Every structure is written in C-alpha cells, then in structure tokens.
Homo-oligomer: A and B are copies of this chain.
C-alpha cells in the first residue's frame, strides 16, 4: 500500500484532497485507479486508511475508511552544528529518523564552517525515512540558532567535546535532555565553559576521534537506550 504524508490531516475527516504534486504522483506516476487503498500519515501520530475516490491528476480525492492515533515516542533531541559536507548531515538525519529522533536543532558555533542548511531538502529526507521506517512522527527540524540562544532555551543537557575534563559515560543518559554535538573544529573553550556553567554534562563519547555525524549518531543511540 502506498503511503502519503498528509500534514494537514484531521481526525474525523471524511475526505482528503491530495496536493497537486501528490495527485500527479498518485495518478500519473503510480498509475493508481479509483478504489486503490492509500495510507495517510500526518507525522504527528495520525494514520488513516483511505480509498482513492476520484483519480484526478491535479486534485485526487481520498475517502477515509478508518484512522488510528499512535502515541508519541520518547523524546530524543539532538542539537548539532551542521557539517561542512551536507551529505553527512543528510545521512545522519535519515539514520536518526529511522532510529526514533524526535527533534534536530542546528547550532551556530564559533568554529562552525557551515552557517546555513537547506531545511526544505532535509524535511523531505526526514519524511522519506519516516515512511520507510513505519514511524508516525516526523522529527521536528529547527535552527540554525546560536549556541548561546540554545543554552538559554535549554539550560541543561549533555554534550561532547575533545578537551580534557570531567566526563560521564555514554550509558544511563536521560532522553528528556538534549545532546549537543559541536562542529568539525569542536566547541571553543568559551563555549565549553558556557555549557558547563549552564548545567550541561560533558560526555566521554569514544576512545577514538569521531567525525561530527558519527558523534551525533552515538549520542542518538545513547539517548535511545
């Protein structure tokens, strides 16, 4: 059964109209015909089973048969400085979405080399990974925002950095707190001190030197377990 992402889907709706792009995909590309079953998910827990009622190439209409609301999955918030290479952010997002990421915030740090990310492209990747992994929640994508602003909004959490200092292990972390991952050049000493003073705990992530996206991935699996 084909699945469409329907962010504006409402519980109790009797019919749903696909957007122009989706109608084209449904009728022209997938060649679906009246009576075909189609699944809708809104990325906020709602899953609906529908039947294609009007196979219009621009304004297809689906009739809702039944719907299920899936409970929210545990919080899992990673805040990372974007990597220089967009591919690395993209695959991290794909993997983390499959695993259960609920929020990804991009941080602007002193040593950030990339200040902008294509949020629209990333949202498409998250939607595809959500559908592929049969999740019903789309991770929220935010930022980029400055690290100091993030610390004001989220005064406690975890972070990894490469300087010496007291660090806790990767196990037993609370998934209600965000995990910060710095840029390729690491957090600056000023940033490390700001995070520690705010109430962040430094985490010893590996015996080896990790790339930014590998660190983000380890942080994700640590918050999962």
Cβ 8 A contact of A210, one of B133, B206, B207, B214:
B133
Contact A218 B99 (CB under 8 A): yes
**Nearest chain B residue, comparing its CB with the CB of A130:** B208
Contact A98 B221 (CB under 8 A): no
Interface membership of A73, Cβ < 8 A: yes
Q: Which of A177-225 contact B (CB under 8 A)?
A: 206-211, 214, 217-218, 221-222, 225
Choose among A100, A207, A222 the residue with the greatest number of B CB atoms under 10 Å from its CB.
A207
* Given A133-B208, A133-B209, A207-B100, A95 and B214 contact (CB-CB distance below 8 Å): yes
- Min CB distance A49 to B, Å, is 18
Interface membership of A135, Cβ < 8 A: yes
Interface membership of A146, Cβ < 8 A: no
Cβ 8 A contact of A208, one of B135, B171, B225:
B135
- Min CB distance A92 to B, Å, is 10
Alpha-carbon gap, A142 to B207, bound state (A): 25
Count the copies. 2
When distances are taken between beta carbons in the complex, the residues of chain B under 8 Å from A95 are: 214, 217
Q: What would be 29 A-B contacts, judged by CB atoms less than 8 Å apart?
A: A73-B207, A95-B214, A95-B217, A98-B206, A98-B208, A98-B209, A98-B211, A98-B214, A99-B206, A99-B208, A99-B210, A100-B206, A100-B207, A100-B208, A132-B209, A133-B208, A133-B209, A133-B210, A133-B211, A134-B208, A135-B208, A170-B225, A171-B225, A217-B217, A217-B221, A218-B221, A221-B221, A222-B225, A225-B225
Q: Which of A81-102 contact B (CB under 8 A)?
A: 91, 95, 98-100
Alpha-carbon gap, A98 to B92, bound state (A): 15
Alpha-carbon gap, A102 to B195, bound state (A): 34
B-contact 0/1 string along A147-171, CB 8 Å cutoff: 0000000000000000000000011
Alpha-carbon gap, A90 to B218, bound state (A): 18
Alpha-carbon gap, A176 to B189, bound state (A): 38
When distances are taken between beta carbons in the complex, the residues of chain B under 8 Å from A209 are: 98, 132-134
When distances are taken between beta carbons in the complex, the residues of chain B under 8 Å from A210 are: 98-99, 133
Question: 6 tightest A-B contacts by CB?
Answer: A133-B208, A221-B221, A134-B209, A98-B214, A133-B209, A135-B208
